[in-house]
Structure 1
């Protein structure tokens, strides 16, 4: 309550402020009969005004003898949207109204949050009768008692208005990143503040997963919190390998991946719903895997390719690194910016490690042990390689020889066919003496002819009868 006194010879003028919904006590000088008269009403013996309204503002008069005391009552009313109950990331609206019998002053308004830090609201309306202010997006840490400090130079007013904000939400950041390796165990946790702020209302929520920002969502489970603070969870997905831990910290939502797969990476969003409003907190799971080509022990003198890969995109200040434990600087290789896969060719066995480094901090490491093949395996591999080479050479030679023989047989058969065709086309007898002798002889019994065709001798046995004409 603020009290201002202006003295005069026969009259005292007082200024008193009050808050709507509260009460105010109007005092007369001591040892006087306390009769109060308001300009708006009859003379009444009043001491207190309870449950103030804006309409109660005005001038109240206390008269005794030749003296008169006038008190000007200035009433403020602060209204908060959603009755002061908010979800994380919501924007409250504050409305400050004032009423007085005298001209309304131009007010200066300052806000202090629950941590006594000054907050600059966004003023949407600066009419002297009504001030509308918007706060920034609320966080769970904004829960508590705030102060609205109202100041005026003329008339002199310095009024503090206390009001409470209850902010239901996560103690986690809005978005965070967690790293895991393939086949490891991961527990994702969301810490709520409903018991800390004594939230006496029912609200619901769900946990959903999606592998990429634009991918379809999969609901893992939903939950309900009663007004008594009891948490009930119901599993929804049976195709996704996860568990809901029974024992966990108070006011905590958890999901456990007992054996992480590479495709378990993605965004896990925990959503709260209250009176048709929503808020959420997201954990992005990044999974790392390592493979080798060829798989198995590394033979002496041989090379192997190690591949380290992470799911999803890395922030600009993160990169991958391969290095050999107890190795040299030559055994270190870093990825380029935005690369999610890094390969390294090695010729030395031992323990190799792939690190994901962000802001010079190792977020996760995958240790891969490359074994050296025993000596007898090296001999077996060398013998197998040599024997395999000899076998391939022998098979190639056999194929060439078979091909040459097959080609010669085809050529010989073609020449035989050409020889037969030549003989059939030349069955007429020779002219002159040879023809006359053939006609006299009548026929020649089975003559063996040697014909030279295309550089080869072809022997044909045939019978020529005398009926052949010259």
Structure 2
């Protein structure tokens, strides 16, 4: 090869090579496009003029690798069988290739040719599947499978997940290959229902793809474990609020409400229910082991029972259970009943003693205890129970109004008041009032509370 004769001729040659390279890059363009299986994507024929400005003899073709998909002339539009079967279409006026219902196998090289131009697009397809078709019960763990396909070597992906409240979720990676990633999410709660996002990222090639997917979690809007404190002879309503209407659950499910006094005891079915697909809640009362009612008026998708007069032995575990496709979810309300008594009932004679007993039907949690105190009394009139103690006795010699409080996390949950009267004898057999019990009831569950005021009178004894 001869060297350049002058500096000017060398510069001219260099400029010519640069210009040829630029023209070559303009004639053939390489692009990267990403899509999601089941979705759609539009591939551009970059640089082409709109239909109204194309010359009469302009021919546009689309190819998948070397397979001709379609040929577009000014007045003719010819499609191959591959084009017809593939769910393709052409978008005017810029001859874009519109692909619907993408599949992993659609990944590859698509080329648009017109005049002396070639636009080469590499289509990278992702497929995201979620276990159980995205329909879960609370406390179940979804499994996600992310797959990718491309004409180029598959990149190493970084995956980030965001829940329906746009909070980032750290998945547990179960299996990883360049083609398939399997991850497990955390246990789901009813509030997790909604649209989640899987964010896929790659540095080389540069990819950032957001894939949304729906999650529906059938369950209770109640806490998993709820505790209610009530007194004997009071009225209590136990409610479980389902979220089936809220999340528009379109599939049928069944359930039942069971009761047992202790963890180790046999369970008794109080009622069962069913919700047909797109139907209303149907309930059937099953048990008559004790008196309870099913209120007629209540919010939609609510399981509710009413105990009109609570007995001490009505305490225990009330468990509402859902069943869907052989899987189960449950929410439990623990009912704790309190009562007070005195021995002797009274009246309290001068110099005599009386034992007041405050008792709950079940062991209390570690952060709860019982406490006796005399209203307007001194610190000497206060006595507290020990941890997990279900009965608290106090020996008294002072009359007045005595109160037993159930305290949880430094908050009074319920109180019972017992009025201790005095008795006097003056030789003329004066009649006295004895042993009157005054009860104030406050039932509290979680952050919600209702108060029922009730007054109970013990027998009146006349002293001859």
TM-score (ref. length: structure 2): 0.78
d(CA) in 1 for partners of 2:358, 2:66: 84
| Counterpart for residue 162 of structure 1 | 212
Matched, 1:21 2:38: yes
**Higher share in helix:** 1
| Counterpart for residue 220 of structure 1 | 270
Question: Which of the numbers 109, 121, 128 marks the counterpart of 1:78?
Answer: 128
Q: Do the aligned residues in 1 keep the contact of 2:293 with 2:307 (CA within 8 Å)?
A: yes
- Per-residue Cα deviation, 1:248-272 (whole angstroms, up to 9, x for no partner): 1222111111111111111100001
Higher relative contact order, chain-length normalized (CA < 8 Å, sep 6+): 2
| Counterpart for residue 334 of structure 2 | 284
- What SS does structure 2 have at the residue aligned with 1:8? helix
d(CA) in 2 for partners of 1:353, 1:12: 86
Question: Which of the numbers 34, 40, 54 marks the counterpart of 2:60?
Answer: 34
Matched, 1:87 2:137: yes
Please identify the structure whose Cα radius of gyration is greater: 1
Question: What displacement does 1:349 show?
Answer: 1.6
| Counterpart for residue 447 of structure 2 | none
Question: What displacement does 1:50 show?
Answer: 1.4
Q: Do the aligned residues in 2 keep the contact of 1:148 with 1:160 (CA within 8 Å)?
A: yes
Q: Do the aligned residues in 2 keep the contact of 1:307 with 1:344 (CA within 8 Å)?
A: yes
Matched, 1:105 2:155: yes
d(CA) in 2 for partners of 1:278, 1:213: 19
Question: What displacement does 1:111 show?
Answer: 0.6
Matched, 1:362 2:412: yes
- Per-residue Cα deviation, 1:261-285 (whole angstroms, up to 9, x for no partner): 1111111000011111110001111
- Per-residue Cα deviation, 1:203-223 (whole angstroms, up to 9, x for no partner): 111000111111110100001
Unaligned stretches of 5+ residues in structure 1: 1-6, 382-470
| Counterpart for residue 10 of structure 1 | 27
Question: What displacement does 1:99 show?
Answer: 0.4
Q: Do the aligned residues in 1 keep the contact of 2:257 with 2:318 (CA within 8 Å)?
A: yes
User: Structure 1 residues 376, 246: closer, same or farther in 2, change over 3 A?
Assistant: farther
Q: Do the aligned residues in 2 keep the contact of 1:172 with 1:191 (CA within 8 Å)?
A: yes
d(CA) in 2 for partners of 1:323, 1:305: 13
d(CA) in 2 for partners of 1:307, 1:207: 33
- What SS does structure 2 have at the residue aligned with 1:330? helix
d(CA) in 2 for partners of 1:378, 1:130: 98
- Per-residue Cα deviation, 1:225-244 (whole angstroms, up to 9, x for no partner): 12234111111111222111
The runs of 4+ residues in structure 1 deviating greater than 4 Å are 376-381
Q: Do the aligned residues in 2 keep the contact of 1:300 with 1:378 (CA within 8 Å)?
A: no
User: Structure 1 residues 234, 374: closer, same or farther in 2, change over 3 A?
Assistant: farther
Alignment of 1:63-462 (within 5 A): 63-376=113-426
Question: What displacement does 1:380 show?
Answer: 9.1
User: Structure 1 residues 40, 136: closer, same or farther in 2, change over 3 A?
Assistant: farther
Question: What displacement does 1:176 show?
Answer: 1.3
- What SS does structure 2 have at the residue aligned with 1:42? strand
d(CA) in 2 for partners of 1:285, 1:337: 19
User: Structure 1 residues 299, 13: closer, same or farther in 2, change over 3 A?
Assistant: same
Q: Which moved more, 1:130-139 or 1:294-303?
A: 294-303
Q: Do the aligned residues in 2 keep the contact of 1:299 with 1:378 (CA within 8 Å)?
A: no
- What SS does structure 1 have at the residue aligned with 2:191? helix
Q: Do the aligned residues in 1 keep the contact of 2:159 with 2:201 (CA within 8 Å)?
A: yes
| Counterpart for residue 450 of structure 2 | none
Question: What displacement does 1:41 show?
Answer: 2.0
Question: What displacement does 1:296 show?
Answer: 3.1
- Per-residue Cα deviation, 1:324-347 (whole angstroms, up to 9, x for no partner): 112111111111222111110011
d(CA) in 2 for partners of 1:43, 1:362: 77
- Per-residue Cα deviation, 1:131-167 (whole angstroms, up to 9, x for no partner): 1111111101000011111000000000000111111
TM-score (ref. length: structure 1): 0.77
Q: Which moved more, 1:360-369 or 1:64-73?
A: 64-73
- What SS does structure 1 have at the residue aligned with 2:132? helix
Question: What displacement does 1:366 show?
Answer: 1.1
Equivalent residue pairs, number: 375
Q: Which moved more, 1:246-255 or 1:133-142?
A: 246-255
CA RMSD of aligned residues (A): 1.8
Unaligned stretches of 5+ residues in structure 2: 1-23, 72-89, 91-96, 432-464
